[in-house]
Structures are given as structure tokens and as C-alpha cells.
Structure 1
Amino acid sequence: MRFLFLWLVVWCVQSVADAHLFVYHRFGDDRHPSTNIPTEKLREQFTYFKERGYKVVPLEDVVQRIHAKEAIPDTWVVLTIDDNYKSFYDNGLALFKEFGYPFTLFVYTGATQRGYGDYATWEQLHEIGKYGELAFHSHEHPNMTQLDDDALKKDFETGMALFEKHLGKKARYFSYPYGEYDERVKAIASSYDFEAIINQNMGAVSHQSDLLNLDRSALGENSNLGTLLSYRHLNAKWLAPKTYPKDSKLNTVEVEIQEKTKQAGLYITGLGWQEIPVEEGIIRYTVDQTLTHDRTRLILSVGKKISTHILIKDH
């Protein structure tokens, strides 16, 4: 009986366990404060993980757990870098090596191919690849929702061919430029057989997460790690709206969740937070408001569990 009780406790803890994916961009480059992390702040964050028992693991470990539908330890953290800025090679890589932290760096191939001075060269990417995973982040770094299907496919095929030619392997993972996507972009990206696709929606991942839409929080100088690490994955199916409304008028939000709750919180960019009713796991909430931002996030929360849906205006 005592064994059964202990097993149930362990099972309950594991069943709600979530990992956290984070993204950095620039390192020690104060010309761009909105996307930069000073190296002294990076050390503070790495020390935070170490002293509080968090384990920084390769993205591959989380992907394998989700694929197998196995519980993910609550102490797992995944670190990623977007855009292959040279500042990572110059200022960030040494700290990752010092702490022994694995990482995944998403490569903007066009910048490296053209020799843009702010970006790592192919030779530097080879060196970076000795210590972490290299993945794909597009060729032209476009707003993908603004491209037609042919242009979108051309970007994938051009960039992935360069990636394979210069780095000697196929990219296993992909992250959206600017974190922007819609159902059409996601479908085309998914057709290239990536093992996982990463967004930039604040939250967490669990064994129930969609491998082709993994949530990832941005880290910067003023990020509150304690708050970000407290978030849990909310298993939600966003039913409506699927895309940015044509007239910018958001009429109704419909979501299906598995939580046993009668209330949830809903955040809409430009409109703020509001409490909304939940009936037997279904949310049908009338908004009737005009959206004022071309990039609008809808965040649904039940306690510390959150799910994010992004709407991008089609220009």
C-alpha cells in the first residue's frame, strides 16, 4: 500500500512536469539593447540555473520525450540562439563552454552566405557546431506570412541546400523568423520533415506539446527567470480565429482545453487581460473589438498554465 501511494505521488508530479525553452539573440552587443544580453547578465542567468538545480539539456532530449509521450522533468531547460550573430561566437560561446551548457543555434543562411559583417562565417559556424546543434532559421529572414507559397518554398529550399552544402548535414530543427507564422506557413514548414519547429510564444512544453509548434520564451537583460520558469503548458486547441480577421475586427475567441475549471484569463494585445467563463472545457467568448496591432497575441491562462495563439495581419 505504501509503495502504491509513493508511486501515485511520483506519477502526479511527473504528469504535470514541463520543460522550458529559451531563446537569445545578441551577446554583449549594446548597440541593440532590445535583443542583447550582456555577458555579465548571461553569467547570472547560467548561475541561477546551476544553483537552483535546473538541468540544461539539448533540444533533442525534449523532442525525444515528446515524441515518446513521456513525462519531461520539470527541471529541464533548453537554450537556443536565433540569427547566428557574430556576437555569439565572440562573446557568448565561451560562457556556454565554461558552464558546459548545450545549445541549438538557428542559422540565417543568407546573412552568412553574403558575408554580412554582423554574422558568423561558415567557418565560425563549423567551430560553433563542435559545442552545440546547428539548425535552420530561413534563408532571407522574411516575414513568412507575407510570402506566397512559391516564394516561401523557395526560401526553405535555397537556405536548406546552403545549410547542407556548407555544414555537411540536414537541419533537424527550424524556428520562425520573428516568431511569426500562421496555419499556412506552419503547414509548408512542416512539409520539410523537421523533427521539431520552434515558435517564440512565451510558455512551457510538456509531453502533450505539438512538436511542430513548441513554445519558447525570449531571454534578455531584464527577463524575470523566476516568473518564466513558473509557467506551465496549457493543452489548448485554438478553434477561432484561425487567422487575423480581414477587417481587423475580432468577434469571437473559441478554445478547447482539458482543464477542469470554470474560469480562465484571456490576454489580447492592445486590449489587456480579462476573466472569461469556461463551460465543460469549451471557451466561446465574444470580444467584438477592433485589433490595433498587426502582430496580435492571444494568451490563455489557467493558473500558471498558459497557451499562446499569434495572429499576423496580411498586408
Structure 2
Amino acid sequence: MFRLLLLLLLSSLSLWAQAHILVYHRFADPRYPSTNTSLKQLQKDFLYLQEHGYKVVPLSKLIKALRQHQPIDPRWVIITIDDGFKSFLKAFPIFRSFGYPFTIFINTEPIQKGYPDYLSWQDLKKIGKYGEIGFHSHSHAHLTDLDEHSIITDTQRGIDLFKNYLGYRPRSYAYPYGEYNEKIKKILKSLGFEAIANQQKGVATDPLDLSRIALTPHTTIQKALKIQGVKAQWIEPKNYSPDHLLRHIKVKIDPRYKKAQIYITNAGWQEVEVKDGLIDQNLSIKLTKRRVLMIIKVKNSKISTKLLVRSRYGAK
């Protein structure tokens, strides 16, 4: 019986995803150093993936595997590009030369208005032959500052533009600024998206809450690929409290871990006990920032993260 239970546990762990989803923004555009990647650096990144045995696969392949509970190769890497900037055309030949698939998440409003810094619909038709086009909202607004009607309206505008200019409905969505709450997640799920991506450091585990790692001057591809996740279910808090007070953290994690550390923005790290796979910690922390990052870290620096974002409207 013990051997059977052990085999079941190991089997379930092997099905849990450890794929890494990377995020780029601009290419060869030094006006924006914090989100820019030079073509030389992009070439180095891709050579690193190639030389170290990583497999760059389409986002849709990962989503299919997650939905069908198939094993996830830990060497899988998914490349995403946010915003749909025109500078992607400079990087496009490098993607083609390596044969790497990609998903580019676009904001439809600046494209529809013909802003010169953004790709055109014609560009996207060409690019779409070699990669996937996802949705990054219509207006790139802070969704936590919008009411439900405004979120639905913004989303539907973009969906209609996809249908009109690209001939299909987008299947994947990436939150603008990586910001969301439970209400926003439910709205987008109800609108039929098969994959929803955030921008929190971690690994991909849930098709409707995909962690992605943004590559920046401070987070290199080498650092990004060293990040390993711990399977965790965040029970509390679900959202940013209206009174700005964090009272309780409750998270289910792998019961093999007996101790963990928790990080909270402006409060730092603290040790917590894990009892039968449960972190259940009472707190009294005043939240002063609009965005509050929470991180659970266990042995071997495996992490799980959650972002709380203050909202003008209800978050449930």
C-alpha cells in the first residue's frame, strides 16, 4: 500500500508543470532601457537555450498538455512578447533563424489607431504565420481600476478587432501590467479565454493563471531559468483588503515541506511552519503600496508567488 501511494505521489508531481514562460517587450530600442533587449542579447539568449538543451515550444502546446494532464518536460520554454511594439520586426529574423515559436500579446487600440510605435494589422498577419497572437487588452488600462462593465467592454472591443482583421478570436490573454484580482480572473474566464497569463516570477502550473518571468537587465535568462516552483494553493488572502490590512495567510503546499519562508512587500521575510501541508499564519500588516507581492519559499529556493493589487472597485 505504501509503495502504491508513493508511486501515485510521484506520478502527480511529474504531471505538475515546471515549464518556464519568458516575457520580452521591446527590441533594439534603447529609448526604454528597462524593457529593451538588444539584438545581440537576444541572440545570446537563444544560443543559451540551444546550447543547454532547452526546448522552445508554442504556448498552445503547453496549454494543451496542462488541460489534458500530460507530463510537462521541465526543459520546455515558452517565449512571449508583450504589447505588440513595432521593434519586434527587428527581432523577427532572429526568431526565424532559430526556428523558435512565440506568442505576441497585443494591445488592439494603438494598432487600430495606427500608432507608429506599434505593429500594424498587416504586420500581424505576416507574423501570425510563424507564431501565435494573443490579447493584451484593448486599451492597456489598469484593470483593477475598471468596473466590470468597462472590463467587458474593453475586452469585447479587442475581440471584435481580432475577428475583423485577423479572422479569429484570441484564445490567450495577458493582464496589462500583470495586474489582476479574483473578479478580473472570473470575468476573463467567462469570456472564453483558454489561457490567462500574469507576470509573476514562477513556473507555469494553471492555464488560467500562468506565471511568466519578464527578462530585464536585472533578470537575465540564466536567472529566470533557475527559478523553480513549489506547488501551492493560495486560500487566503484572495484579494487586497479594503482596509489595507493583511490579517491572514493560508496556503496549501507539498506536505513534504515542514518549514517555509514568506515575503511580503515592505514587511520582508519571516519563517513560518508548515503543518500537514498547510501554512496558516495570522498577521497584522498594514499595506501601504498599491501592489503587494507575496512569496512563499521552501527548501532549494522553490517559490510560489501571489500579487495583491489595490482596486477602486470590489474584487470578489
TM over 0.5: yes
Alpha-carbon distance, 1:13 to partner: 8.8
CA–CA separation in structure 2 for the residues paired with 1:203 and 1:242: 18
Match of 1:257 in 2: 253
Unaligned runs of 5+ in 1: 1-6
Native 8 Å contact 1:300 1:306 kept in 2 = yes
Whole-Å Cα distance in 1 between the matches of residues 84 and 62 of structure 2? 22
Q: What does 1:111-260 correspond to in 2, within 5 Å?
A: 111-205=110-204, 209-260=205-256
| In structure 2, distance between residues paired with 1:170 and 1:142 | 21
State how far apart, in whole Å, the 2-side matches of 1:49 and 1:157 are. Answer: 37
- Higher deviation after alignment, 151-160 or 220-229: 220-229
Runs of 4+ in 1 over 4 A off after TM superposition: 10-17
Q: Secondary structure at the match of 2:87?
A: helix
Instruction: In structure 2, give the amino acid aligned to 1:153.
Output: I
Moved more, 12-21 or 215-224: 12-21
Distance in 2 between the 1:222 and 1:263 partners? 29
2:282 is the alignment partner of 1:286 = yes
Offset from partner CA, 1:16-50 (integer Å, 9 cap, x none)? 66110011111111111111111111111111100
* Shift of residue 15, structure 1, vs aligned partner: 5.0
Instruction: Answer whether contact 1:38 1:221 (CA < 8 A) is retained.
Output: no
For the residue of structure 2 that corresponds to 1:232, the secondary structure is coil
TM-score normalised over the length of structure 1: 0.92
Q: Displacement, 1:192?
A: 1.5
Q: Which amino acid aligns with 1:30?
A: P
Matched, 1:44 2:47: no
Corresponding residue number in structure 1 for 2:4: none
Q: In structure 2, the residue corresponding to 1:233 is in which secondary structure?
A: coil
Structure 1 residue 233 displacement after superposition: 2.8
Question: d(CA) in 1 for partners of 2:13 and 2:66?
Answer: 17
Amino acid at match of 1:190: K
SS in 2 for 1:85: coil
Any conservation in 1 of the 2:17–2:203 contact (CA below 8 Å)?
no
Q: Alpha-carbon deviation of 1:220? A: 2.1
Give 1:251 deviation, angstroms.
1.6
The C-alpha deviation readout for 1:216-242, integer Å capped at 9, x for no partner, is: 110123323333212233221211111
The Cα shift of 1:63 comes to: 0.7
Q: Secondary structure at the match of 1:120?
A: coil
- Give, as a single letter, the amino acid of the residue that structure 1 aligns with 2:307: I
Aligned partner of 1:146: which letter? D
Is the 2:20–2:76 Cα contact (8 Å) retained in structure 1?
Answer: yes
What one-letter code is carried by the residue in structure 2 that aligns with 1:119? Y
Contact conserved, 1:41 with 1:221, CA < 8 A, in 2? no
Look up the match of 1:4: none
Q: What secondary structure is seen at the aligned counterpart in 2 of 1:273? A: strand
- Please state if 1:311 is matched with 2:308: yes
Any idea what SS the aligned residue of 1:274 has?
strand
Code of the aligned partner of 1:55:
K
Per-residue deviation, residues 162-181 of structure 1 (Å, max 9, x unmatched): 01111111111111010000
> Using the alignment, how far apart are the partners of 1:173 and 1:17 within structure 2?
18
Deviation for aligned residue 1:12? 9.3
Q: In structure 1, what is the equivalent of residue 98 of structure 2? A: 99
Residue aligned with 2:156, SS? helix
Separation of aligned partners in 2, 1:36 and 1:259:
41
- How far residue 297 of structure 1 moved from its aligned partner, in angstroms, is 0.9
- Root mean square deviation of aligned Cα: 1.9
Task: Specify which of 255, 262, 266 is matched with residue 266 of structure 1.
Answer: 262
- What SS is found at the alignment partner of 1:123? helix
**Alignment partners' CA distance in 2, 1:46 and 1:273:** 34
C-alpha distance in structure 2 between counterparts of 1:234 and 1:86, whole Å? 37
CA distance in 1 between counterparts of 2:232 and 2:11 reads 22
CA distance in 2, matches of 1:17, 1:188: 25
CA contact (8 A) 1:105 1:135 kept: yes
Counterparts in 2 of 1:261 and 1:14: CA distance versus 1, 3 Å: closer
Task: State the match for 2:72 in structure 1.
Answer: 72
Q: Is the 8 Å Cα contact of residues 17 and 66 (structure 2) preserved in structure 1? A: no
Q: Which runs of 5+ in 2 are unaligned?
A: 1-6
Structure 2 equivalent of residue 3 of structure 1: none
Separation of aligned partners in 1, 2:46 and 2:255: 33
Indicate the larger mover: 209-218 or 267-276.
267-276
1:294 CA drift (Å):
0.5
Aligned residues: 304
Contact 1:203 1:233 in 2 (8 A): yes
- Alpha-carbon shift at residue 258 of structure 1 (Å): 2.6
